[in-house]
């Protein structure tokens, strides 16, 4: 399965700063969305996968997971 590319804003633009984004990829298999690398290999941590419900928007879920991953890596 080909991973889908997406991005999420992590810092808004402001005077003297262009802002920032985080880029990611995801796949949905058997109803579970998983963050992956560009080749489709899942990221090492299961915290970045979520079972989708019938009303879930996969892009919203992917952006939430990537934002969480980005904030976590910035804190470490």
In 3D space, the residue among 10, 29, 7, 3 whose CA is nearest the CA of residue 70 turns out to be 10
Query: For residue 27, what are the β-bridge partners?
Result: 34
pLDDT band at 75 (very low <50, low <70, confident <90, very high): low
Structure tokens at 19: 């802002």
Cα-flanking dihedrals φ and ψ of residue 23, to 5°?
-105, 145
pLDDT of residue 47: 85
Greater pLDDT, 45 or 70: 70
pLDDT tier at 18, thresholds 50, 70, 90: very high
Written as six digits, the tokens of 56 are 């879930």
pLDDT of residue 29: 95
Write down the domain spans for the chain.
4-9+22-75
Give residue 76's pLDDT band: very low, low, confident or very high (50, 70, 90): low
Query: What contacts 21, CB < 8 A, 6 or more positions away?
Result: 7, 8, 9, 10
Place of tokens 């976590």: 72
């Amino acid at each position: 399965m080909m991973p889908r590319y997406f991005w999420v804003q992590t810092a808004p633009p402001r005077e003297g700063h262009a802002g920032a984004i985080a880029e990611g990829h995801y796949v949905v298999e058997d109803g579970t969305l998983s963050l992956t690398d560009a080749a489709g290999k899942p990221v090492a941590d299961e915290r970045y996968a979520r079972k989708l419900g019938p009303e879930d928007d996969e892009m919203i879920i992917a952006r939430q997971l990537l934002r969480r991953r980005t904030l976590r890596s910035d804190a470490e």
